[in-house]
Amino acid sequence: MDFHLTSLITTFTLILLFGVAFNVGKARAKYEIDAPATTGHPKFELVYRVQMNTVENAVAFIPALWLFSYYVSVIYGAVLGVAWLVGRIWYAVAYCEDAKKRGGGFGLSLLSFLILTTGALIEIIRQMV
């Protein structure tokens, strides 16, 4: 099986994680929030929450992506992975503008994750029985 697409999506996810962490560092400097503080200026807190939410989601997304790609389809896994990435980027941009606008990106990434997880689970069980 060829997992180049799955590997590419995983790499883009790592770049996204680095990007949101980098944004936190920039916000720390801009708003003069010294580590280890995680509160202070409201704009810093938005950027920080984007990072934490992205990390929390990536921890579940990456195994779901790989399990789906292995058990179901590399191509569909890649499509769903791209949708998840687009959703998380949309979420991050919208959240930093106005936290109330994050719903669309959240919904797209959640839907992608649920399809990946459910598809993998169904196929794993199917192959076991």
CB atoms within 10 A of CB 120: 21
pTM: 0.95
CA distance 115 to 129: 21
For residue 1, pLDDT beyond 90: no
What value, to the nearest 5°, has the Cα angle with vertex 88 and ends 97 and 109? 125
| Domains of the chain listed by start with CATH number | 4-128 (1.20.120.550)
pLDDT tens digits for range 81-111: 999 999 999 999 999 988 899 999 999 999 9
Question: Could you give the CA distance from residue 85 to residue 6 in angstroms, rounded to a whole number?
Answer: 12
For CA atoms 36, 32, 53, 61, give the dihedral sign. Answer: negative
DSSP state of 36: T
